[in-house]
Homo-oligomer: A and B are copies of this chain.
Amino acid sequence: MAAAEPEVIRDKAAMRAWARRRRAEGKAVALVPTMGFLHDGHLSLVAAAAAAGGQPVAVVVSIYVNPSQFAPTEDLATYPSDLAGDIRKLAATGAVAAVFCPPDLYVRPGAGAASASCLEEAGGGYGHETWIRVEHLEKGMCGSSRPVFFRGVATVVAKLFNIVEPDVAVFGKKDYQQWRVICRMVRDLDFAIQIIGSEIVREADGLAMSSRNVHLSHLEREKALSISRSLVNARTAARNGNNHSQQIKDQIVQTLTEAGGQVDYVEIVEQESLVPLERIDRPAVICVAAWFGKVRLIDNVEIQAPT
Task: Give the interface of A toward B (CB within 8 A).
Answer: 12, 16, 105-107, 123-126, 128-137, 139, 154-155, 158-159, 162-163, 165, 184-185, 187-192, 272-275
Contacts and interface: CB of A to CB of B under 8 A. Distances in A.
Contacts of A105: 190
Given A163-B190, A191-B162, A185 B124 contact: no
Given A107-B188, A162-B189, A125 B275 contact: yes
Contacts of A123: 136
Contacts of A187: 107, 130
Contact of A190 (B134, B139, B162): B162
Contacts of A165: 192
Contact of A158 (B16, B106, B134, B189): B189
Nearest to A137: B129
A106 B188 CA distance: 7
Nearest to A105: B190
4 nearest A-B pairs in the assembled complex, by CB-CB distance: A124-B136, A130-B188, A162-B190, A159-B190
A131 B131 CA distance: 8
A194 to B, nearest CB: 13
A159 B12 CA distance: 22
A128 B159 contact: no
Contacts of A124: 136-137, 139, 273-275
A146 to B, nearest CB: 18
